[in-house]
């Protein structure tokens, strides 16, 4: 019985760890955009710290950045709250 409870708790914690924004992918995308000269934050450590601090409040923006091209993000303003780059 204890093994079953422990397995259930491990599964639940794994699921909780997986929910929320993917800050690693978000910061990789910004680094990629910075290397092609379109913008972004080239400091990965600062980006990850900032994203992790506000990520739960900004999941749509983080997902938008991950799924769009650098040109869409920084020239098209697709992920901007105001609609501008």
Cα distance between residue 72 and residue 65, in whole Å: 9
11 found inside a domain: no
For residue 40, being part of any structural domain is answered with yes
Residue 3 belongs to a domain: no
Within a domain: 6: no
Whether 12 shows a pLDDT value over 50: the answer reads no
For residue 19, the 8-state DSSP code is S
Average pLDDT over residues 11-16: 37
In this structure, is residue 47 part of a structural domain? yes
pLDDT, residue 76, reads 85
Q: What domain range is 50 assigned to?
A: 20-85
Q: What is the mean pLDDT of residues 15-34?
A: 80
pTM, rounded to two decimals = 0.69
- The total domain count for the chain is 1
Confidence of residue 81 (pLDDT cuts 50, 70, 90): low
């Amino acid at each position: 019985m204890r093994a079953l409870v422990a397995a259930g708790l491990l599964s639940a914690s794994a699921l909780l760890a997986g929910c929320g924004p993917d800050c690693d992918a978000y910061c990789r995308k910004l680094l990629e955009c910075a290397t092609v000269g379109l913008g972004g934050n080239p400091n990965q450590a600062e980006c990850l710290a900032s994203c992790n601090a506000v990520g739960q409040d900004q999941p749509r923006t983080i997902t938008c950045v991950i799924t769009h091209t650098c040109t869409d993000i920084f020239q098209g303003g697709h992920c901007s709250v105001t609609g501008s780059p």
